[in-house]
Amino acid sequence: MPFKNGDIVSHIRFGKLTIMEVLPDKVIALTKYGDPITMKLESALSSLRIIESSNSQTLESSYIKNGGKDDLLSDSSIASLASESQLDDLEYQGSTPSIETGYITRPELCAQTRSLTCTINGQAVVPSEQNYWSQLLVAITERFIAEGNPGLESLNSKPLYGSKVFFLPTKENFETCSLLSNGKWINTNYNPQAVVTIIRNLCQHCGVDLEDVIITNELKFDKPSQSMQTNTRPANVVASRIIRPQPALDPEVIEKLADVLLAHFANGYRLNSPIELARFRSFAAEDFGEEIVLPHEELKRYISACGTTYDGKVYAVSAETKERIKELVDEYFSDGAQAIFFAEFYAKNENWLFEASVVSEDMLIDILRRLFPNLSFTQTYFGYTDASVFSALESEILRVWGDDILLTYEHLAERLRYIPLERIKYALGQNGDFIWSSVETFSHVSRIEITDEERQVVREAAVRECNARGYASITDLPFGEIEERNYELSITAVHNAVYRICLSDKFDKKGKIVARKGDVPDALTIMKKYCRTIDKCSLDDLLTHEKELTGKVRRWIPMEAGNTVLVRIDKDAYVADRYVHFNADVIDEAIGLFVKGDYLPLKSFTTFWAFPGCGQTWNLFLLESYCRRFSRKFRFDTPSVNSRNAGVVIRKSCGMVYTEIMTDAVANADVPLKDTAVGKFLYESGYTGRSTTAKVNEIIDKAKAIRERMD
């Protein structure tokens, strides 16, 4: 090894240097100004010439005594030096011995500053744009992405600051965001204190010891240092800044100024207001009995460190307020709770929190993170779990359920003080293990009494029914004593509980219809099948059967089934095909006497003198059934099945869809093209069953175009 610690050498560009440390692949030396320089060993062998040897311990002690700052190379000098030389073998470290890790652990000290340098685990992190805290955050994140840090995966669903997830799937509207190499976005619309807080949380989340994170900065109003750059520098060589570390803020001064902020600026201090600054100086002079001698910008920096900046204002939160927050949280968790939702905690305590200068949910979250650094924080809640919201809600609801068979929303909300009511409703509605019994009242499968023998009987019956007809109705299954034993539940709750406990692993359920998984027929199909088994029925019979089948009343399903399979002979009656005898040729000829063009509203048929006998009395319902299923020349269409005779008899040779027919009718009628007038015309003429239609604007626009062409 040609060099050893303490050697004084000569460099062709930098003159006299002192070797501080010789490593396997590089040499670290000090310039005469006390600045460290790192050189690749192979470059050093050809660039350095030994002048003399010295005691390395003495040299190092001297350097430490000076702190690397007694005789720093000026910004202009180093910039000039960089421009004169080809720095293809040098890595400038800057004056870092006096820099501490306080900036990463105390983000409030970074107010009104810009970032300068950053090293993590001894490696420099260089943002795409210097001096911007947000770009430093991006650069650090990209470093962890490049390293494949396993901690990043969970940040797709977890926040590092506030309530928003760290990795955003898309760019947020009206926010400043940066696109990362992994295809995700991160929000960078934060002040320096917030960005440093996020960097701190990110490093901790990714397993980096904060002692290994060194960040330097300077006040925004200082002249930025010049970075050393050359066109020939290799890509892997970083030219860092020669900086003068910003002096740390005095904690005693912060404490005193915080008292002023608390006493006189309860509604916040406007950070960039000259008037506000003058008021602050005046109040401080009254409180302290002497003027503040700090320069304006230095005072602003201190004020920023006194509290939390939100929406351009600094709010000082007292120790008493933080202690009260901590007591409320500790008290809630002491009963076994695992999660507190930020929004509900703030809502329940908003009055006094706002008066105590905690003016937003995000401010509260920041305080909670500082008070409870060992708890888990997600996008919406914090506590002793980081499970998904769905799982956390279920766990918390069951924790407070106790021995109750039934609980209401109100009961649960009282027991879960810091979970929003809407979250409770969502969990009960979406989790099948919670059984709806009546309005706002639920049970849980764990509270339902069903024996193993009863389970087996129910399963076997369901299998037999599905084998026979493809489905089973939950009401037809043998419940035995299940309903009697669980008397507190409604019959609907019993049905749902039986399905959940006995059948849900092998069967699907839709309404009251149970079928094998992936094979549930829709209610209309089942209703059509039912209609094929009957000779005569009333409309009420069909409605009742559909309700028994599905548990709901949806008139269109039984009416559509009846219209498709049966013949509707009047408003309330259906019969099988064998009860009518249609002579299609004669009937179509009779219809043609009325339909002179392509179509005619059903209501326009006011007499049936030309229609032959068919075994039933002719009326508009019977004519509709004939055109739907039996006519060779005509078809029937309507916006929806109805009992108002709304619809149109259309020649099969006409290819217009129903909206086009209505448009054509409006265009050729003497009706103003206004919403109300057109709606009234379509209703009174029998095209629709009501005076309004969702397509009225479309119809008007197209009718207007038709009229213009006609003119």
Q: What is the pLDDT of residue 436?
A: 94
Contact partners, residue 239, CB within 8 Å, separation at least 6: 82, 87, 90, 91, 92, 227, 228, 229, 230, 233
Asked if pLDDT for residue 519 goes beyond 90, the answer is: no
Radius of gyration of the chain (CA): 40
pLDDT digits (tens, 9 = 90+) for 573-610: 999 999 999 999 999 999 999 999 999 999 999 999 99
State how far the Cα of 449 lies from the Cα of 682, in Å rounded to an integer: 57
Q: What is the pLDDT of residue 460?
A: 93
Which percentage of the chain shows pLDDT scores above 90?
45
Cα 98 to chain centroid distance, Å, stands at 43
Q: Extract the tokens encoding 367.
A: 């305080």
Asked if pLDDT for residue 168 goes beyond 70, the answer is: yes
Beta bridge partners of 124: 119
Cα 210 to chain centroid distance, Å, stands at 30
Which percentage of the chain shows pLDDT scores above 70?
82
CATH of 448-521, picked from 3.40.1000, 1.20.1070, 1.10.8, 1.10.10, is 1.10.10
Asked if pLDDT for residue 567 goes beyond 50, the answer is: yes
- Tell which CATH architecture fits domain 389-446: Orthogonal Bundle (1.10)
Closest CA to 493 of 546, 428, 572: 428
Mean pLDDT of all residues belonging to the chain = 82
pLDDT digits (tens, 9 = 90+) for 199-213: 988 988 888 888 778
pLDDT digits (tens, 9 = 90+) for 367-414: 999 899 999 999 899 999 989 999 999 999 999 998 999 999 999 999
Cα 171 to chain centroid distance, Å, stands at 12
Asked if pLDDT for residue 179 goes beyond 80, the answer is: yes
Residue 80: pLDDT band (50, 70, 90) is very low
Q: What is the pLDDT of residue 239?
A: 32
Q: What is the pTM of this model?
A: 0.52
Q: What is the pLDDT of residue 98?
A: 30
Tally of CB atoms within 10 A around 537: 20
pLDDT digits (tens, 9 = 90+) for 313-363: 888 888 899 999 999 999 999 999 999 999 999 999 999 998 888 888 988
pLDDT digits (tens, 9 = 90+) for 448-488: 999 999 999 999 999 998 888 888 888 889 998 998 999 99
pLDDT digits (tens, 9 = 90+) for 113-151: 777 778 888 788 888 776 678 889 999 999 999 888 888
Q: What is the pLDDT of residue 353?
A: 93
Q: What is the dihedral of CA 344, 350, 354, 355, to 10 degrees?
A: -150
Contact partners, residue 250, CB within 8 Å, separation at least 6: none
